[in-house]
Chain A
């Protein structure tokens, strides 16, 4: 039994932790929260210099050709630090979509630029306040032109290009969905930041008005590719959530050990001890699920859809719980702008909604289990 990350992979995690605690403290997160900056450019520059943006990109395309296990280690530390950078959009979504569906020419064009940090990419899927489905989506791609509005688009005000999930036919089934790749600085594209509950990660509204674009992958096969990208991203985001949940637990414990009430540290009250034990339990269950997700992702196992959904459901549960109960443990101070609790509360929710809701992932998981059980 060797169900663990290797020593080299753990070393990479330690390096990531060191870099991020050094360069991307919560002070940096607060700067993005309090100003009009959309992301921490100096942190991003460091990330690019260390090669993290090229982790899973093959060396032939300018990457460093490591695997998804390494990327999981980096993700956990990004999550722990709440780093305000467009990493998930560019690396988990855009890069993975290109690796899955890009033509040779597209790979040549985008992957080296993504690895080198010369380009930042994203995936534009949502269209408003409900889940995007083949039935409800409206943004169209006809005659090489995009029309319609995508919102919220993660890091849409930062990215140079977007992979847009579009309708390419009049049908309402999966076969009418394709992917188009578009230059966000090009003609016919406007974008603007949206107000969000976590201003430390950009969300944007992007409108296309006859914007020139090209297909990514074959026409009518976009929906299947999106599902694959979401599965991969679910595992990677789960590691960010676990990192964040661990950090929230550590913060709650720190405060409880030093806050005195009724003549004793509040950490000595069972109501607090059991709350923190519950956080620990959820975090470990999420970690174990996500290790399995990481294994399935790195080996391309047929069980990836269930493993990814399991990772995401468990990690969402863990981070949301840790973030809200961290505030509760802090009492009134936890509700102040000054204390850091709200940074975790905000990010936990951002991450839990960024690839689709908790409820929809549970549903996705049960659909997989149902198929397996019926077989």
Chain B
């Protein structure tokens, strides 16, 4: 048992370090949520960086070389991410396209699609988004309403109407993958059809959603009589659910990183330096100590669970089910300890003044973003269902609308 790279991993890390040292932009600013760079500036830097990475084979390490990848291993991918994280490169623009959209096109598209779309996506020339969630369908994705009707017979264009929501990057994307309802008279999983769509198509309108944090990281996307050629259909008519599952299974293993910037280290420091009404530092307070212990142990548990997954990856195995607990634990934990840090600051804890408040009001910012972390990419509740069903093998939920026509299901008008 140790934390060392194997000789092969060490050699790869050395190679990556040397390449990054020679090629990575210096002082490029922070990630996409940063206020230091505006989005257009960040995107410009990110595109240039993506092209460089792609040319060197690092853009998709695990893809085969014929698609512009490196034919590498999962652990090499993680090593690259760890090393790249040491540089301040704007990120996040290409993850959805390369992680979910393009793999779906690869699995269900025609050879000419691959020829046309894979390389521009890999080089950051074209960006893709994923049009799945709707106002009335999130956790229950198969309940989507966006309507697709075929004009004419076999091979005719599709006319699409409806609304998508929570679409990251829709406003700068060139293409999107979209799941629609092509037949509302059959049970809900059977009446879906899957397409990719040019985001510049007439009838598509993208509107940013103002969040409780004040920012706008996601969009609503409205489709009004949007015309999609049948050649952009992925999978058979009515097979949209099956295709959607391919997309969801391609969600990347989120085991590379190490969580947010503010954690228990900062919390302990804050507790050491904050004086309580009894005149003692907060860390001398028994209630404070107990909470610090709980969060520290949870944090260590998450960290070393990631290490266990990395070990599996390093041995060429698929990480075990323990990898599924990360998000279920960390989102709520972050919400709780951010709230507690604010509590330590007494009345001043409510201030959102970067100049006045510890860590540039970072705990306050993370508290305000925390509700999103518990919902986006699978709610806490859905994640616990997944653990119960896929890890522990417990039965799926009873679905009362599974076998009845979608348009007669409860809640569907």
Contacts and interface: CB of A to CB of B under 8 A. Distances in A.
Interface of A: 1-6, 69, 249, 253, 256-257, 264-265, 267-268, 270, 272-274, 276-278, 280-281, 284-289, 291-292, 294-295, 298, 310, 313-314, 317, 359, 362-363, 365-366, 369-370, 373-374
A265 B396 CA distance: 11
Contacts of B289: 362-363, 366
9 contacts: A1-B307, A3-B1, A3-B308, A249-B392, A274-B388, A277-B387, A278-B384, A314-B300, A366-B293
A277 B303 CA distance: 19
A11 to B, nearest CB: 15
A370 B296 CA distance: 12
B62 interface: no
Nearest to A298: B1
Question: Closest 3 A-B residue pairs measured CB to CB?
Answer: A285-B301, A273-B388, A362-B293
A366 B310 contact: no
B290 interface: yes
B388 A277 contact: yes
B325 A313 contact: no
Contact of A280 (B4, B6, B325): B325
Interface in B389-403: 389, 391-398
Question: Which of B2, B4, B286, B394 has its CB near the most chain A CB atoms (within 10 A)?
Answer: B394
Given A274-B381, A276-B388, A2 B311 contact: yes
Contacts of B272: 370, 373-374
A44 B113 CA distance: 68
B43 interface: no
Contacts of B325: 280-281, 284-285
B381 A270 contact: yes
Interface residues of B, number: 54
B302 A276 contact: no
Contacts of A313: 293-294, 297
B328 interface: yes
A301 to B, nearest CB: 11
B407 interface: no
B398 A288 contact: no
B4 to A, nearest CB: 7
Contact of A366 (B283, B329, B385): B283
Interface string B325-356: 10011000000000000000000000000000
Contacts of B392: 249, 253, 273, 276-277, 280
A298 B1 CA distance: 9
A289 B293 CA distance: 13
Contacts of B5: 1
Given A2-B2, A253-B392, A362-B294, A285 B302 contact: yes
A253 B322 contact: no
Interface in B1-27: 1-6, 9
B269 interface: yes
A274 B322 contact: no
Nearest to A288: B304
Nearest to B304: A288
What DSSP secondary structure best describes chain B's contact surface?
Answer: helix
Question: Which of A69, A264, A267, A280 has its CB near the most chain B CB atoms (within 10 A)?
Answer: A280
Contacts of A298: 1
Contacts of A257: 394-395
A267 B394 contact: yes
B305 A370 contact: no
B265 interface: yes
Given A274-B381, A280-B392, A369-B292, A3 B310 contact: yes
Contacts of A291: 1, 304, 307-308
A273 B293 contact: no
A276 to B, nearest CB: 6
A257 B392 CA distance: 11
Contacts of B398: 264, 268
A262 to B, nearest CB: 10
B201 interface: no
B411 to A, nearest CB: 19
B305 A288 contact: yes
A369 B296 contact: yes
Interface in B247-306: 264-265, 268-269, 272, 283, 286, 289-290, 292-294, 296-298, 300-305
Contact of A284 (B286, B294, B300, B305): B305
Contacts of B381: 270, 274
B173 interface: no
B77 interface: no
Contacts of A4: 1, 308, 311-312
A363 B284 CA distance: 10
A2 B297 contact: no
Contacts of B328: 277, 281
Contacts of B294: 313, 362
A43 B116 CA distance: 69
Contacts of B217: none
Contacts of A273: 384-385, 388-389, 392, 394
Contacts of B389: 273
B322 A370 contact: no
Contacts of A274: 381, 384-385, 388
Contacts of B388: 273-274, 276-277
B139 interface: no
Contacts of A314: 297, 300-301
B314 interface: yes
A270 B397 CA distance: 8
B82 to A, nearest CB: 11
B11 to A, nearest CB: 15
Contacts of A374: 272
A2 B3 CA distance: 6
